[in-house]
Amino acid sequence: MASQESEGQTNPVFKDYLPGSSDLPEQDKPAEPAGPWKQASHTHNLPPGLEYLNQLDRIIIHQQVELLEAILGTETCSKYEIKNHLGQRVYFAVEENGCFNRNLCSPIRSFTIRIADNSGREVITVNRPLRCNSCWFPCFLQELEVQSPPGTVAGYVVQNWDPFLPKFTIQNESKEDVLKIIGPYATCGCFEDVDFEVKALNEMSTIGKISKYWSGFVNNVFTNTANFGIQVPVDLDVKIKAVMIGACFLIDLMFFENSLDGL
């Protein structure tokens, strides 16, 4: 488990990626809670560094282009920019794992992704253990833990067994089911976006989606870079928004890691 960073401390792993100003806009007042997935805490009780997520209903995740990976065909540690709908960077994420793990296990590799705010303070930690990626092993399917602040569990993403569709459950810190994510039968979108719908637990009503954006023939064929969008209600519990970011990373690795995926 990652140790909790003291407030204001800059993690060295992010020292080359800081954009400068860490000023955040004034926070909106959270909406009145009306469901298990809605914001239940006041702004001053939010995990440090997640205050900005409190006012967002759209999150863009952009994977950085890795030239060495494109040229040599080897897996390198992924880096992501996490932005608001205006394209302004909110967080920066860096994957940590071993070279052997990345290249041998690739889509099912274990990892720790550390997410820092604009001051370089680590605010979210995403841990993925090495688990199976096949519906033939329903007892050892994918699980992912999201911590915020690092060292404190915010929630989980759990893969559900289904012979046809990609299905996941979003859980809170107590492992109580909160939301479902259901993907399409075919995740290789032919020159179009691929949507994973975020649904209520009854799987009847859709409240948002995680989309893998079509980024062009050259990017999809010659690199593993990807662009994702997360659309959720603005009053979604901020911890669950952090878990949704973790779910986006998991979906990327499971379904879009290979260079020809997304065509």
Read off the pLDDT of residues 86-119 as tens digits, 9 standing for 90 and up.
989 999 999 886 554 455 555 666 789 999 999 9
Residue 125 has a pLDDT of 97
Going by pLDDT thresholds of 50, 70 and 90, the confidence category of residue 210 is very high
Residue 255 has a pLDDT of 85
Give DSSP secondary structure letters for 2-36: PPPPPTTPPPGGGTT---S----PPPPPPPPP-ST
How are beta strands 153-160 and 143-147 bridged, if at all? antiparallel
Q: Which two tokens stand for residue 127?
A: 């841990």
pTM attached to this predicted model: 0.76
Q: Where are the beta strands (DSSP E) in the chain?
A: 58-63, 79-83, 89-96, 111-116, 122-128, 143-147, 153-160, 167-172, 177-182, 194-199, 206-213, 227-231
Of 25-34, 179-188, 204-213, minimum mean pLDDT range: 25-34
Q: Which two tokens stand for residue 211?
A: 């989309």
Residue 131 has a pLDDT of 62
